[in-house]
Amino acid sequence: MGIPMSKRLLENGYPLTVYNRTKGKEKAYTPQTVSVALSPAKLMKETGVVIIMVSDDKAIREIFSGTDGLLSAGASGKVIINMSTVSSGISKEMADQCSKQGNRYLDAPVSGSVKQAETGTLVIMAGGEEAVFEQVKPILDQLSKLAIRVGDTGVGNNAKLAVNTLLGIMSQALAEVVLFGRDNGIEPEDLLNIIHNSAMGNIYMKIKGDAILQENYKAAFALKHIVKDLRLAKQTGLKTPLGETACKTFREAEGEYGEEDIIAVIKKLERG
Ligand SMILES: NC(=O)c1ccc[n+]([C@@H]2O[C@H](COP(=O)([O-])OP(=O)(O)OC[C@H]3O[C@@H](n4cnc5c(N)ncnc54)[C@H](OP(=O)(O)O)[C@@H]3O)[C@@H](O)[C@H]2O)c1
């Protein structure tokens, strides 16, 4: 996600310095269009706004507090926007650390995938000070069709967990009804056609319904990511029947299908 998002900013006139833990990913950019920082600390020194898009809480901790991490730069006056899907706990911790050095932190996770990142049509839900949000809003607007501040630090993260809980539940529900229909004499193609034309039809159902019909389980959103997100939602207090069930189902599917798309859950449900 970091590459298409940063390319979008580049295309819209923002000068960029990029950093990635594993070297070589800068080859994704046209030579000489970006500067490459060799560490998060160097990135922090060279830029006014730092945008982070990495896997999980562990990655965030390493980027901020590891050797040559952002905080080791001793810089101040920077804005750090963390767009990764992580816990509100890690956001609050890092926002405190940033504040002690005179830097400001915004959690701003995204809904949407690579295609939306490429076209600047993500949905961004931010948590943090209103003034910081307004300051970086022009940048967020280049990446999104909607950038909304939902509350203080960490609330953006919680909004993302709510959205992805629905994503997990909807994915499992779609897979279950396709199997139920098939076992009771309804061709999946016909059932999906009915769903798409009913009040329950939506873009997500269409994309994942097509993936089921084509047996295309290449990860657009890896199943292992929904396991992480549902686990975080549980840690944040999700205790509802559907939430609990989806969390269990995806956890059980992860071993075999974690690297495949979220809708590969249908293969797990089919095998039992
Ligand atoms: N893919 C989607 O459709 C999608 C949609 C919405 C939100 N998200 C969220 O966006 C975030 C990124 O997802 P992605 O799909 O872009 O993941 P990805 O392709 O797996 O990339 C993960 C990135 O995190 C870095 N990273 C992981 N552990 C690290 C560590 N300990 N220290 C430093 N860097 C580390 C990786 O660096 P290396 O290259 O060195 O491994 C890589 O740059 C996740 O939180 C995900 O849940 C994804």
Let me know: does 54 contact 25? Beta carbons within 8 Å. no
Q: Which CATH number fits domain 159-271: 3.90.550.10, 1.10.10.60, 1.10.1040.10, 3.20.20.80?
A: 1.10.1040.10
pLDDT single digits (tens) 113-123: 888 999 999 99
120 CA distance to ligand 1 centroid (A)? 18
* Nearest CA residue ID for atom 20, ligand 1: 55
* Nearest CA residue ID for atom 18, ligand 1: 55
Enter the DSSP assignment of 30. Answer: P
* pLDDT at residue 31 greater than cutoff 90: no
Total residue length of the chain: 272
**Does residue 84's CB lie within 6 angstroms of at least one atom of ligand 1?**
yes
225 CA distance to ligand 1 centroid (A)? 9
Enter the CATH code of domain 2-152. 3.40.50.720
* Ligand 1 pocket test, candidate residues 25, 27, 55, 231, most atoms within 8 A of CB: 55
In whole angstroms, give the CA distance from residue 139 to residue 147.
10
3-state secondary structure 32-78: CCEEECCCHHHHHHHCCEEEECCCCHHHHHHHHHCCCCHHHHCCCCC
Residue (of 99, 109, 108, 38) closest to 71 by Cα position: 99
Q: Strand, helix or coil at 226?
A: helix
Decide the pairing of beta strands 79-82 and 110-111.
unpaired
Domain spans of the chain, in order of start:
2-152, 159-271
* Nearest CA residue ID for atom 14, ligand 1: 1
**Does residue 225's CB lie within 6 angstroms of at least one atom of ligand 1?**
yes
Residue (of 134, 43, 57) closest to 91 by Cα position: 57
3-state helix, strand, coil in the chain (%, to 5): 60, 15, 30
Q: Which two tokens stand for residue 205?
A: 């159902």
pLDDT single digits (tens) 199-218: 999 999 999 999 999 999 99
Mean pLDDT of the chain: 97
pLDDT single digits (tens) 57-72: 999 999 999 999 999 9
